[in-house]
């Protein structure tokens, strides 16, 4: 097998970060030289000759992957791996053991202490390269998901979850270093009127343009520009005194004025403007970071109450008083009927030999739910009807071989992330490399050791579980727990395609909390957050079928996606939401329509076709929502015309 041939094909398949850093740990310089020669073309290679050196370099360089020998004189590889996994900063670095220790128990121990793979010496360059690149690819996907979790999909700014993490980190640093820390809380003036006048899609464009302004202005490392709510933005400024924060706020307002985004519905100006509350603290142990946010919120209220398009500034001290707000007790009921029952992972075994399937079933059936397929075609059909957590796949089968099955699975966006472990009698290096190229995460040759099979399955299920958790968080709104905009868009694409195939109706229910800006101004943003959480629970509660979902579409805007539902069925859901909200009676003394929180709702329905697009369905729901608000709010409007 030509390693260069493997190298070219692996490079063409795996999506890797540019020049990843790999730390090679071995007390034999000749072994390091061999591995460095394999990896040098597209990796930055660091090396350590001892366990202690490895820990030091890992701390200082944060490598993307570590190749670790076991037998070393000071700390052995197992001990090094354990120490790395105990470090919250380093624990997610993938570790591959490369060692002469080839006993089954050694491999099991290596995987159980936290390694993602185990390769025995003497090594084959193509195998090392293929497995290294496979685990770099997995890490790259995980890192991308982590970034998605803290980035707002619409604006590209840090989202609420990312802001909270950064605020906690920078506050601790400010306390430790006795330096000032500032917040600027912005609100787009009359943005609800902007959305009503121009539509939500134009509102999205406006938010993106303002976000670009913030990104240009907030440039220092450690400073953060974030989307705090729907039209609320926040800048976190470490080591920044009050006057510098005020100056930055003024620069942002000035640049936005020069941008001159038209806003004909604003009573302040004929272009989009911002109000800003600036708060600064000399952080100490006696102050809570929440007090700084509350002070910025109070000064934002002052800026808006004083005419908008201006800045109000405050300094937080241990004796200062924060602008008082009335308290409101929101709905906090827990819906236990929707609790998730944890089930055993499901494995699909694909092999055309009954005896081989039975061997694997005997090994695994005590720990897993087992599905079986006797051919490649059967495997693809089974995956369509019941998605397993992991697939054990033979290669030599009469209809479709395992490589073809794996390739087809990876082409399907709904099942491409299922880990596939090849388990086969083919032991040539070229077969293992091809298995990695087509998308397998591991390759086990028959006859397989039961302990090795079980340990490798556990390892890859753990990696999948971590990825699934990150994937789930990346599509959830950090405040309400509903799907976020990204999650809604993905679900809408999926359900639209399904409705198109079935020629079935699909409905959207778009809702807006009435006079929520006044709610925030009157009660403050913390109470506003609790109100949003209460309303979100109501929307979630009324999504009763498996395909139904509720999402937070904007600040106080929610959207429900109801597949296979006509307008009459969607109207029933909307009435149930309105009724439930009215019975809760969340106080809203500043509302012009009622003394409690209410919602306005727009509904649109379509049977997807070539002439009907998702954007049109969204626009129609948005138009109906505008009509409901324009006709007095606290009501439901339905699109009766075809999309």
**Mind telling me the catalytic residues?**
231
d(CA 359, CA 374): 14
Place of tokens 């019975």: 583
Q: Which helix (H) or strand (E) holds 639?
A: none
What is the C-alpha separation between 274 and 533, in angstroms, rounded?
26
Using left for φ > 0, alpha for ψ between -120 and 50, and beta otherwise, residue 569 falls in alpha
Rounded CA-CA distance 610/254 in Å is 45
CB atoms within 10 A of CB 5: 12
Q: What are phi and psi of 26, to 5 degrees?
A: -160, 140
Helix %, strand %, coil % of the chain (to 5): 45, 20, 35
Calpha distance 524→298 (Å, rounded): 8
Which CA distances in Å does 154 have to 62, 73, 157, 203, 510? 30, 53, 8, 11, 18
**596, 513 Cβ separation under 8 angstroms:** no
**CB neighbours of 105 closer than 8 A, spacing ≥ 6?**
451
Among the listed residues 268, 328, 324, 326, the one whose alpha carbon sits nearest the alpha carbon of residue 297: 324
On whether the CB atoms of residues 56 and 74 are closer than 8 A, the answer is no
Judge contact between 51 and 80, C-beta under 8 A: yes
């Amino acid at each position: 097998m030509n390693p260069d041939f493997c190298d070219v094909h692996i490079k063409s398949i795996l999506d890797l970060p540019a020049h990843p850093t790999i730390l090679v740990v071995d007390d034999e310089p000749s072994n390091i030289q061999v591995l460095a020669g394999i990896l040098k073309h597209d990796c930055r290679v660091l090396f350590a000759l001892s366990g202690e050196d490895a820990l030091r370099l890992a701390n200082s360089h944060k490598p993307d992957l570590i190749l670790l020998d076991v037998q070393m004189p000071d700390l052995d590889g197992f001990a090094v791996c354990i120490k790395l996994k105990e470090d919250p900063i380093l624990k997610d670095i993938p570790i591959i053991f490369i060692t002469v220790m080839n006993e089954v128990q050694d491999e099991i121990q290596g995987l159980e202490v936290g390694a993602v793979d185990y390769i025995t010496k003497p090594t084959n360059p193509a195998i090392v390269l293929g497995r290294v690149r496979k685990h770099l690819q997995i890490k790259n996907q995980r890192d991308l998901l982590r970034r998605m979790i803290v980035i707002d999909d619409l604006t590209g700014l840090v989202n609420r979850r990312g802001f909270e993490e950064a605020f906690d980190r920078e506050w601790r640093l400010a306390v430790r270093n006795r330096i000032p820390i500032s917040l600027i809380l912005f609100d787009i003036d009359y943005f609800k009127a902007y959305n009503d006048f121009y539509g939500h899609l134009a509102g999205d464009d406006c938010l993106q343009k303002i976000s670009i302004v913030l990104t240009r202005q907030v440039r220092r490392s450690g400073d953060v520009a974030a989307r705090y709510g729907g039209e609320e933005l926040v800048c976190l400024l470490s080591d920044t005194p009050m006057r510098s924060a005020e100056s930055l706020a003024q620069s942002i307002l000035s640049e936005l004025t020069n941008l001159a985004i038209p806003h004909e519905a604003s009573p302040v100006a004929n272009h989009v403007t911002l109000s800003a509350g600036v708060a600064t603290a000399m952080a100490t142990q006696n102050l809570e970071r929440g007090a700084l946010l509350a002070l910025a919120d109070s000064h934002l209220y002052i800026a808006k109450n004083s005419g908008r398009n201006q800045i109000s500034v405050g300094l937080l001290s241990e004796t200062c008083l924060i602008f008082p707000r009335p308290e409101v007790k929101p709905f906090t009921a827990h819906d236990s009927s929707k609790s998730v029952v944890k089930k055993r992972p499901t494995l699909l075994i694909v092999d055309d030999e009954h005896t081989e399937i039975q061997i694997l079933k005997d090994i695994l059936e005590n720990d897993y739910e087992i599905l079986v397929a006797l051919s490649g075609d059967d495997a693809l059909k089974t995956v369509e009807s019941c998605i397993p957590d992991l697939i054990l796949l033979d290669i030599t089968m009469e209809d479709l071989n395992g490589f073809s099955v794996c390739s087809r699975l990876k082409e399907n966006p709904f099942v491409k992330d299922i880990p596939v472990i090849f388990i086969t009698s083919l032991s040539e290096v070229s077969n293992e490399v091809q298995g990695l190229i087509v998308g397998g995460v591991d390759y086990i040759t028959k006859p397989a050791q039961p302990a090795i099979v079980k340990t490798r399955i556990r390892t890859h299920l753990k990696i999948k579980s971590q990825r699934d958790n990150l994937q789930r968080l990346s599509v959830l709104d950090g405040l309400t727990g509903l799907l976020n905009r990204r999650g809604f868009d993905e679900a809408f694409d999926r359900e639209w395609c399904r409705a198109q195939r079935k020629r079935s109706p699909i409905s959207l229910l778009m809702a807006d909390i009435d006079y929520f800006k006044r709610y925030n101004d009157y009660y403050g943003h913390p109470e506003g957050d609790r109100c949003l959480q209460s309303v979100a629970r109501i929307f979630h509660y009324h999504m009763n079928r498996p395909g139904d979902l509720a999402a937070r579409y904007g600040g106080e805007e929610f959207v429900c996606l109801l597949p296979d539902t006509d307008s009459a069925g969607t109207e029933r859901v909307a009435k149930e939401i309105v009724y439930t909200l009215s019975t809760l009676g969340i106080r809203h003394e500043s509302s012009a329509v009622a003394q409690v929180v209410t919602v306005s709702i727009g509904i649109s329905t379509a049977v997807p076709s070539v002439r009907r697009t998702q954007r049109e369905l969204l626009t129609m729901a948005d138009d109906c929502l505008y009509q409901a608000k324009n006709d007095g709010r606290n009501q439901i409007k339905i699109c009766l015309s075809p999309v």
